[in-house]
Amino acid sequence: MGPRLRGRSTLRTILTPMHTLIRFAFLAMCFGIVSSSLAATPPGVSYDSVAIRLLESGLRNCEAFQMLKELTSHAPHRLSGSPDAARAVDLTKKMMEQRGLNKVHLEAIMVPHWVRGPVEEATITRSTSKKGTKLTICALGGSVATPKRGIEAEVIEVKSFEQLRTLGESAKNKIIFFNRPFDPTKFNTFETYGGAVDQRSRGAVEAARAGGVAALVRSMTHVIDDVPHTGAMGYVDTVKKVPAAAISTLDADMLSKLLLQEKNIRVRIQLTCKTLPDTPSANVVGEITGSEKPDEVIVVGGHLDCWDKGQGAHDDGGGCMQAIEVIQLMRKLGVKPKRTIRAVMFMNEENGNRGGKAYATAPERAGEKHIAAIESDRGAFAPRGISVQADSSVLAKVQAWRSLFERMYADRIFPGYSGVDVSAIVERGAAGFGLDVETQRYFDYHHSDNDTIDKVNPRELELGAIVEALLCYLISEEGL
Amino acid sequence: MGPRLRGRSTLRTILTPMHTLIRFAFLAMCFGIVSSSLAATPPGVSYDSVAIRLLESGLRNCEAFQMLKELTSHAPHRLSGSPDAARAVDLTKKMMEQRGLNKVHLEAIMVPHWVRGPVEEATITRSTSKKGTKLTICALGGSVATPKRGIEAEVIEVKSFEQLRTLGESAKNKIIFFNRPFDPTKFNTFETYGGAVDQRSRGAVEAARAGGVAALVRSMTHVIDDVPHTGAMGYVDTVKKVPAAAISTLDADMLSKLLLQEKNIRVRIQLTCKTLPDTPSANVVGEITGSEKPDEVIVVGGHLDCWDKGQGAHDDGGGCMQAIEVIQLMRKLGVKPKRTIRAVMFMNEENGNRGGKAYATAPERAGEKHIAAIESDRGAFAPRGISVQADSSVLAKVQAWRSLFERMYADRIFPGYSGVDVSAIVERGAAGFGLDVETQRYFDYHHSDNDTIDKVNPRELELGAIVEALLCYLISEEGL
CB contact under 8 A, A414 and B35: yes
Residue A17 belongs to some domain of the structure: no
Is the model's pLDDT at A166 over the cut of 90? yes
Q: Are residues B163 and B95 in the same domain?
A: no
DSSP A416-454: ----TTTHHHHHTTPEEEEEEE--TTHHHHTTSTT--GG
- pLDDT score of B18: 40
Q: Which residue in chain A is spatially nearest to B456 when comparing CA positions?
A: A441
Side chain identity, residue B305 = D
Chain A residues with CB inside 8 Å of B238's CB?
A: 11
Q: Are residues B258 and B291 in the same domain?
A: no
Q: How confident is the model at residue B370 (pLDDT cuts 50, 70, 90)?
A: very high
- pLDDT score of B130: 63
Q: Are residues A301 and A220 in the same domain?
A: no
CB contact under 8 A, A350 and B24: no
Residue B281 belongs to some domain of the structure: yes
For residue range B32-87, what is the model confidence (pLDDT) as tens digits?
Answer: 333 333 333 344 448 999 999 999 999 999 999 999 999 999 999 999 999 999 99
In the sheet that holds B274-288, the strands lie side by side as: B102-115, B274-288, B339-346, B293-303, B369-375, B431-437, B383-389, B412-415
Instruction: Please check whether residue B194 is in contact with residue B220, taking contact to mean a CB–CB distance below 8 angstroms.
Output: no
Q: How far is B180 from chain A (nearest CA, A)?
A: 15
Side chain identity, residue B113 = H
- Which of A22, A187, A238 is nearest residue B194 as measured by Cβ atoms? A22
Chain A residues with CB inside 8 Å of B190's CB?
A: 1, 25-26, 29
Chain A residues with CB inside 8 Å of B231's CB?
A: 2-3
Q: Are residues B358 and B459 in the same domain?
A: yes
CA triplet A114, A116, A117: central angle to 5 degrees?
120
- Considering only CA atoms, which of B82, B67, B76 is closest in space to residue B348? B82
CB contact under 8 A, A423 and B21: yes
CA–CA dist A307, A76 (Å, integer): 9
For residue range A346-377, what is the model confidence (pLDDT) as tens digits?
Answer: 999 999 999 999 999 999 999 999 999 999 99
CB contact under 8 A, A438 and B382: yes
Chain A residues with CB inside 8 Å of B303's CB?
A: 2
What average pLDDT score do residues A171-192 get?
98
Q: Which residue in chain A is spatially nearest to B220 when comparing CA positions?
A: A3
Chain B residues with CB inside 8 Å of A6's CB?
A: 234, 352-353
For residue range A2-40, what is the model confidence (pLDDT) as tens digits?
Answer: 544 333 333 333 333 344 444 444 444 443 333 333 333
Is the model's pLDDT at B156 over the cut of 50? yes
CB contact under 8 A, B185 and A303: no
- pLDDT score of A126: 73
Measure Cα distances from A40 to A35, A37, A162, A400, A477 in Å: 9, 6, 51, 9, 20
- Considering only CA atoms, which of B138, B291, B111, B301 is closest in space to residue B219? B138
Q: Which residues contact B256 (CB under 8 A, 6 or more apart)?
A: B157, B177, B179
Q: Which residue in chain A is spatially nearest to B375 when comparing CA positions?
A: A1
Q: How confident is the model at residue A128 (pLDDT cuts 50, 70, 90)?
A: low
- Helices A63-74 and A45-61 pack at an angle, to 10 degrees, of 50
For residue range B270-296, what is the model confidence (pLDDT) as tens digits?
Answer: 999 999 999 999 999 999 999 999 999
CA–CA dist A174, A176 (Å, integer): 6
CB contact under 8 A, A11 and B236: yes
Q: How far is B73 from chain A (nearest CA, A)?
A: 19
CB contact under 8 A, B416 and A31: yes
For residue range A455-471, what is the model confidence (pLDDT) as tens digits?
Answer: 999 999 999 999 999 99
- Residue B274 burial by Cβ neighbours in a 10 Å radius (0-12, 13-18, 19+): middle
Helix boundaries (H) for B75-138? 83-98
Residue A46 belongs to some domain of the structure: yes
For residue range B17-34, what is the model confidence (pLDDT) as tens digits?
Answer: 344 344 444 444 433 333
CB contact under 8 A, A233 and B5: yes
Q: Are residues B132 and B263 in the same domain?
A: yes
Which of residues A215, A237, A272 is at a domain's end?
A272
- Which of A3, A194, A350 is nearest residue B26 as measured by Cβ atoms? A194
Q: Select the residue from A1, A225, A350, A455 to test the B interface by mutation, using most B Cβ atoms within 10 A.
A: A1
CB contact under 8 A, B29 and A459: no
Chain B residues with CB inside 8 Å of A10's CB?
A: 236-237
Q: How far is B7 from chain A (nearest CA, A)?
A: 4
Q: Which residue in chain A is spatially nearest to B395 when comparing CA positions?
A: A32
Chain A residues with CB inside 8 Å of B197's CB?
A: 3, 22
Question: Mean pLDDT in chain A?
Answer: 92
CB contact under 8 A, A315 and B4: no
Q: How far is B334 from chain A (nearest CA, A)?
A: 18
Q: Are residues B450 and B306 in the same domain?
A: yes
Residue B93 belongs to some domain of the structure: yes
Q: Which residue in chain B is spatially nearest to A11 when comparing CA positions?
A: B236
CB contact under 8 A, A6 and B234: yes
Q: Select the residue from A5, A27, A240 to test the B interface by mutation, using most B Cβ atoms within 10 A.
A: A5
Q: How far is B242 from chain A (nearest CA, A)?
A: 13
Q: How confident is the model at residue A311 (pLDDT cuts 50, 70, 90)?
A: very high
CA–CA dist A104, A233 (Å, integer): 34
Q: Which residues contact A449 (CB under 8 A, 6 or more apart)?
A: A227, A309, A310
Q: How confident is the model at residue B1 (pLDDT cuts 50, 70, 90)?
A: low
Q: Are residues B180 and B104 in the same domain?
A: no
Give the domain range for residue B79: 42-114+277-478
Q: Are residues A150 and A210 in the same domain?
A: yes
Q: Are residues A109 and A250 in the same domain?
A: no
Residues of A annotated as part of the active site: 349
- pLDDT score of A129: 62
- Which of A5, A222, A231 is nearest residue B201 as measured by Cβ atoms? A5
Catalytic residue among B157, B206, B287, B349: B349
- Which of B7, B25, B316 is nearest residue A1 as measured by Cβ atoms? B316
- Which of A28, A408, A442 is nearest residue B187 as measured by Cβ atoms? A408
Q: Which residue in chain B is spatially nearest to A36 when comparing CA positions?
A: B414
Biggest alpha carbon–alpha carbon distance for chain A: 84
Residue B211 belongs to some domain of the structure: yes
CA–CA dist B460, A85 (Å, integer): 34
* Dihedral pair phi/psi, residue A367, rounded to 5°: 85, -5
Q: How far is B294 from chain A (nearest CA, A)?
A: 30
CATH number at residue A323: 3.40.630.10
What average pLDDT score do residues A390-412 get?
98
Chain A residues with CB inside 8 Å of B456's CB?
A: none
Which of residues A242, A257, A272 is at a domain's end?
A272
3-state secondary structure of B301: strand
CA–CA dist A214, A156 (Å, integer): 11
- Residue B276 burial by Cβ neighbours in a 10 Å radius (0-12, 13-18, 19+): exposed
What average pLDDT score do residues A424-441 get?
98
Chain B residues with CB inside 8 Å of A441's CB?
A: 457, 460
- The predicted complex's ipTM stands at 0.91
Residue A57 belongs to some domain of the structure: yes
Q: How far is A140 from chain B (nearest CA, A)?
A: 12
Chain B residues with CB inside 8 Å of A222's CB?
A: 459
Helix (H) or strand (E) holding B366, with range, is none
Q: Which residue in chain B is spatially nearest to A1 when comparing CA positions?
A: B377
Beta strands in B196-265 (DSSP E): 214-218, 244-247
- Which of B1, B184, B187 is nearest residue A377 as measured by Cβ atoms? B1
CATH number at residue B176: 3.50.30.30
Known catalytic membership, residue B462: no
Q: Are residues A226 and A349 in the same domain?
A: no
Q: Are residues A63 and A121 in the same domain?
A: no
CA–CA dist B20, B421 (Å, integer): 51
Domain total of chain B: 2
Instruction: Please check whether residue A374 is in contact with residue A422, taking contact to mean a CB–CB distance below 8 angstroms.
Output: yes
Is the model's pLDDT at B129 over the cut of 70? no
Residue A20 belongs to some domain of the structure: no
- Helices B83-98 and B318-333 pack at an angle, to 10 degrees, of 10
Residue B387 belongs to some domain of the structure: yes
Biggest alpha carbon–alpha carbon distance for chain B: 84
Which of residues B230, B257, B272 is at a domain's end?
B272
Q: How confident is the model at residue B383 (pLDDT cuts 50, 70, 90)?
A: very high
Chain pair A-B, CB pairs under 8 angstroms: 264
Chain B residues with CB inside 8 Å of A112's CB?
A: 7
Q: Are residues B322 and B309 in the same domain?
A: yes
- Residue A396 burial by Cβ neighbours in a 10 Å radius (0-12, 13-18, 19+): exposed
Q: How far is A428 from chain B (nearest CA, A)?
A: 16
CA–CA dist B342, B364 (Å, integer): 13
Q: How far is A236 from chain B (nearest CA, A)?
A: 4
